[in-house]
Amino acid sequence: MNRRELAGILLFGSLWGMLECILGDFLRDQNLPAGAIMTGLVAVAMMSYTRIIFRKRGMQLGMAMVAGLLRLTNPFTGCLICSAISIVSEGIIFEAIWYKLFDLREFRRPATIASMGMITSYLCYIGGFLVTQVLTPIVSSVAFNPNDLVAFLPQILARGLPAGILGIFSILAIDRVRSYDISKLKSRFYYPVTISLSAVCWILTIANSLLVG
């Protein structure tokens, strides 16, 4: 992975993490489905955009790791470990779904592109949720009861539907804005822009956590 791609990971991972901390917490305070909204409109959008313009496997997992790390800087919210695990899980699931996919134009028809958005968003959401329910008790040294997970499985599967629907709009929007390719910026602009914006994301997130706390 070259320096340009690493800078892209830092930038988009930082943007993702900042939105998770600030926008996500705001949505939760308003009793809105923050998880579905953040997965369908933020996570899937950023991961699909970077896959299309950089055409590089592994970048999306790297972004998820950066976003998960940034999520841990906000101590005045719910389960930090849960959120971080969920974000990284979404990155892993996305990489698996898009393993052989680099360009939405391969699908040609908008309906097929929309279906890909729905499938990606739905699986990222419920997959991240399920992995979180399994790993969080282990990381927290709390006993994990599989029966509890099985009992709530239908409810979990149903909760993924809003994320899937939002993923349709997200992926169609990304297909339209693909021409705005940040990776094509000249190096003398690209690196200062990516590093500066990444720093702003971290500063805003930490400042927000201190003010809220």
Kindly list the domain boundaries of the chain, sorted by start residue.
3-212
What is the rounded average pLDDT for all residues in the chain? 88
- What pLDDT is stored for residue 75 in this prediction? 56
pLDDT of residue 77: 54
Helices (H) and strands (E) counted in the chain, each on its own, are 8, 0
> Is it the case that residue 76 has pLDDT exceeding 70?
no
In angstroms, the CA 146 to CA 42 distance is 30
pLDDT band at 109 (very low <50, low <70, confident <90, very high): confident
Topology adopted by domain 3-212? Arp2/3 complex 21 kDa subunit ARPC3 (1.10.1760)
- Tokens 């909204």 correspond to 37
Look at residues 210, 120, 105 and name the one whose alpha carbon lies nearest to residue 165: 120
Dist CA 19 CA 92 (whole Å): 19
Contacts of 141 (CB under 8 A, 6+ apart): none
How far, in Å, CA of 187 to CA of 47, rounded?
Answer: 22
Distance CA 90, CA 64 (A): 7
Residue 78 pLDDT > 70: no
pTM: 0.90
> CA 162, CA 49: separation in Å to the nearest integer?
21
Place 82 in a pLDDT band, splitting at 50, 70 and 90. confident
* Range 149-168 average pLDDT: 88
d(CA 48, CA 38): 14
Q: 6-10, 31-35, 101-105 — which one is most confidently predicted on average? A: 6-10
| Position 185 pLDDT exceeds 70 | yes
Q: How far is the C-alpha of 208 from the C-alpha of 71, rounded, in Å?
A: 12
